[in-house]
Amino acid sequence: MTIISKNINKAVDILNNEDVVAIPTETVYGLAGNIYSEKAIRKIFEVKQRPLFNPLIVHLHTIKQLEEIVSHVPPKAQMLANAFWPGSLTLVLKKKANIPDVITAGKDTVAVRIPNHPVTLELLKKLSFPLAAPSANPFNRISPTNALHVEYYFKNSIQMVLDGGECQNGLESTIIGFEKNEPILYRLGAIAIEDIENVVGKITVKNKEEKAPNAPGMLAKHYAPKTKTYLVDNLEEFLERHTNKAIGVIVLSENLNAENIKHIEILSRSGDLKEAASKLYSALHRLDGLNLNMIVAQRFPNFGLGKSINDRLERATK
Ligand code: AMP
Ligand code: MG
């Protein structure tokens, strides 16, 4: 029996009952629970097998609700919220005392965003509490961008995936924190740095720390397929060096023929990086299901969402 359903009221009941539901967002599917229910939050960590040092993102449906969650909003955070919410930008801000420590991994900051998905916005309006929701994948696996991906991972451990179709952006949110009221980029994501800098000017990037990371999306190994994965500058040379292997290939726009290519994923025939980002994880899920010897991706252009795609592929190769 499927756990996929479009019934929002059923999701409301499950969440009111302190259990978890997988929800659609425009970035990736999330595994959601009431931020104030210890039972629900514990279950999120259990189902994901996520270490407790990894904090969760809190999801709201109006900017007004920020007052309930955070104690201080720097002027540049307000500008970013006005510019990008609802949308794929997560802000890390000083938390209020009522936010449970398990949500924030004991930090004095909390990560928040308003997702841009009609189904989840409607769900949030029907609830009397915000939802904590990390991505709905087991720790270190590829994030889900449709309901079937979630069902595949969690059909034996959760009651319901609320179906909202394919995720439009298909990459996790961009995460921005603040030091002395100035924005710092903690995680590359679905909103390009260039777009953020258009609103608040040049920002500092700190997404490469590996010990006690500011944002755990920064752990070197993350988002990984089970099949050994490579990110290369020269794809043809790589294919020539591995003639006896069955290889799955990911490219931006150009088709390629070689005997050892068993499957090729072209992410955007017109070379559009936003379209490519939205298709990346589905391509990885498909290739990972084909029992290949290796997956290889040609490095993407190093600007806009190409940077975020390269970041995820680099972590997939560790
Ligand atoms: P996920 O949705 O699985 O990517 O998980 C949520 C992500 O939000 C984590 O991996 C962290 O990168 C980030 N995050 C959540 N809370 C905080 C916080 N207080 N400080 C920094 N990053 C956070
Ligand atoms: Mg995740």
**DSSP per residue over 55-124, as a string?**
--EEE-SSGGGHHHHBS---HHHHHHHHHH-SSSEEEEEEBPTTS-HHHHTT-SEEEEE----HHHHHHH
57 lines ligand 1 (CB under 6 A): yes
The string of pLDDT tens digits covering residues 167-195 is: 999 999 999 999 999 999 999 999 999 99
Ligand 2 centre and the CA of 133: distance in Å?
9
Per-residue pLDDT band for 318 (boundaries 50, 70, 90) equals: confident
Ligand 2 centroid to residue 195 C-alpha, Å? 23
For ligand 1, whether the C-beta of 142 sits within 6 Å is no
pLDDT, average across residues 54-83: 97
Looking at ligand 1, which residue's alpha carbon is closest to its atom 5? 134
Distance CA 293, CA 227 (A): 7
Query: Is the CB of 109 inside a 6 Å radius of any atom of ligand 1?
Result: yes
CATH code for the structural domain at 229-316: 3.40.50.11030
Q: How far is the CA of 243 from the centre of ligand 2 (A)?
A: 34
Q: What pLDDT band is residue 216 in, cutting at 50, 70 and 90?
A: low
Ligand closest to Cα of 209 equals 1
The interaxial angle of helices 118-125 and 8-16, nearest 10 deg, is 50
Question: 216 CB less than 6 Å from ligand 1?
Answer: yes
| Residue 223, pLDDT score | 75
Best mutation site among 29, 91, 92, 214 for ligand 1 pocket (most ligand atoms within 8 Å of CB): 92
Ligand 1 centre to CA of 235 (Å) is: 33
Rounded CA separation 8/140 (Å) = 29
Atom of ligand 1 at shortest range from CA of 134: 2
pLDDT, residue 178, reads 97
Does the CB atom of residue 140 touch ligand 1 within 6 A? no
- b/e sequence 211-249, b meaning 16+ C-beta within 10 Å: eebbbbbbbeebbbbebebebbeebeebbeeeeeeebbb
Q: CATH class for domain 3-205? A: alpha beta
Rounded Cα gap, residues 140 and 307, in angstroms: 20
- The answer to whether the CB of 111 is under 6 A from ligand 1 is yes
Identify which has the larger pLDDT, 143 or 218.
143
Ligand 2 centroid – CA 217 distance (Å): 7
**What pLDDT was estimated at residue 207?**
80
**What's the mean per-residue pLDDT of the chain?**
95
Substitution site in 41, 50, 56 for ligand 1 pocket (most atoms within 8 Å of beta carbon): 56
Is the CB–ligand 1 distance for residue 135 below 6 Å? yes
At residue 211, does pLDDT exceed 50?
no
Residue 256 CA to ligand 2 center (angstroms) comes to 32
Is the beta carbon of 25 within 6 A of some atom in ligand 1? no
Task: Write 204-209 long-range contacts (CB < 8 A, 24+).
Answer: 207/311
Taking only the tens place, the pLDDT of each residue in 125-159 is 999 999 999 999 999 899 999 999 999 999 999 99
Q: Can you give the residue ranges of every domain in the chain?
A: 3-205, 229-316
Which of 227, 221, 223, 222 lies closest to 248 in space, CA to CA?
227
Q: DSSP letter at 289?
A: T
